[in-house]
Structure 1
Amino acid sequence: MALFTLATMAETTEDGKFDTDKKRLVELVEDLKRYNAAQQAEIDMFERYISRLDPQTQSESFETASQMEMATSPGRKTKVRTPERQQLLTPEQKCDIAKSMHKQMTQDLRRAKLHSERELDNYKATLEENDIHLAEVKKECCQFDRDIGKALRDKKCVTMSAEKVIKYIEDKVKAKENLIEKLHQKNAGLLAYKKKLQIQLKQQEEMGEGLTALDFEQLKFGNMKCRKRLDEQNLKHMELKLLAGKTLHVLNSEKEKLQTLTLESDVLSSDIALRTKLLVKMEEETKQAEKERNKAEALNRKLRGQLADFQVPHVLQYIKVKESHSQLQKSIREWERKVEIGEMSLKTYTKSWDKLRIAAGARPIPARLAAIDAGLYGF
């Protein structure tokens, strides 16, 4: 078919349609390439499928394929096909092959994932082991530097440091040997325990093979007892849960009461502190009032004593004293008037004197000096 189309395309080129035929030729070649690629993919998938099958399954699959091909051609007589003739697969067979290949690939991916996870765990374990080994090496280096490195840095004790190094190495070797022996003993104990468990497992398997109907009945009876006990324990567990809920509720209520009481106690304690402060202040005030009362009582006693000793003068003596007092007040008023008059006259005299001094060309007397002069002269 392809050769026929190519021949027709060559004839058309002679008629002058070279460009359009070239495009068609290119498109045809691309279609053939895509068809060949799809056929090659199917062939590769079928080859992988056949390579995974056993020879017996291969022959059975070929027989079923030939039977299906003969059954799909109605109206034809059944003929024995020669192995030289090409056997084509039906879409159902291709779908079955694709499904089996997909299942096999998913299994392969799962196995590869498990293998990679196992390898990753192994690598992580090796890294952890290397980290532990590195930490041990660092620790040993620090101990060696602490115990022997300081002595080696000192040049005076070289022989002593060599003996220390040998002793240190021997001690470390002995410690490692003791650790190896302990690990061997532990490993031997674990192996013995493993053998014991394997023997017990075999015995249980053997006993399980030799069980009878009576044993099953006993097991059923024991199972029933265990179920009854389990039900009782479940009931007890539910009762305990209910009791725990009630106790929790009571505990929460008591906690709330305790919180309120603590708040009240805080308020009362603050009130008590204030009351105590007020009481101290009142006690101080009472002491001060007591002192003032004592002073007042002493003064009152003194005044009462004076009042008891007081004698009222005679009326004529009182009149004379009163008259002398009025005369003295009158004389005081007269002298005050005279002083005012003297001050007024002094002011007038000082003003006239200042005018005369200014007219004569002298400086006026300051007010301070004038006051001094007035005081000296008794004005």
Structure 2
Amino acid sequence: MTDDEIESVLSDSHEGSEQELPVIQLCGLVEELSYVNSALKTETEMFEKYYAKLEPRDQRPSRLSEIKMSAADYAQFRGRRRSKSRTGVDRGVGLTVDQKLELVQKELEDTKDDLRHMRANAERDMQHHEAIIEEAEIRWNEVARAVHEFEKDILKAISKKKGSILATQKVMKYIEDTNRRRDNMKEKLRLKNVSLKVQRKKLLSQLRQKEEVGEALHDVDFQQLKIENAQFLETIEARNQELTQLKLSSGNTLQVLNAYKDRAKAEAVNKRLRKQLAEFRAPQVMTYVREKILNGDLEKSIKMWERKVEIAEMSLKGYRKAWNRMKITNEQLQADYLAGN
């Protein structure tokens, strides 16, 4: 809602105050004014933040929220605003939509930056706490293992009879072993620290050399590198074209080779068939007639035996039926005989 609309609402509310308005209309007017006030408050706070970032601290004016005004002064101030709105006196021009949009975008970018920094700090803190927890767990495991070993080696010896001297010796040995392990660990950590320092120094020297080499390069060197790069690119393009042509030639060669292979196979089959045809000899007429007669006799014999097999199968079926009838009759006779006795 613009300032003109706000002034119109205020003037309408002032004029309506002279008349009696319904309660529903008054509630709607109050709700609308509350919404307008909240929007103006948000815009004012955003503008104050943006203005505070631009102006130095000693030149910043007092914020609107810090200005204290009495009720009479506030009423007089509102009366002056209403009189100005009625008389049509020119007022200060407010922010345009583009300016408000720019302020909102800057505020959004600042908020995103703050969130990014907060996320980075939170991740760093989380990693730090995770490292502390991991170190505490390792230390706890070491302490638990030491307690277990102490109970296993010392307390069991003390609980036995006449074990005080032996227990004292074991305690001293345990302390010496613990100190020795600690010294060994300290020496290992010292050597590791020295090696890490040497590695860090080496990396720093390499980085310094790279920076010096980078500073030593001039525009002429960069131009020369660009020319060489272009030449290499042209050479690579030519080699790629040659490779493409070689691939095409290889494909054509494979096709021709496959065609020759198929042709060789066909020629081999043709040669074998020609050889069989050359070696083939037609039989004599009488031999052919005898073979034909013999073939006919064999076919007749096969048909005759097939007929005999069919007759034998039919006879077998009849014999099976007769056998089944005889078996049933025998069973009935046995049953009658047993019933008569």
Output the TM-score relative to the length of structure 1.
0.45
Structure number with bigger Rg: 1
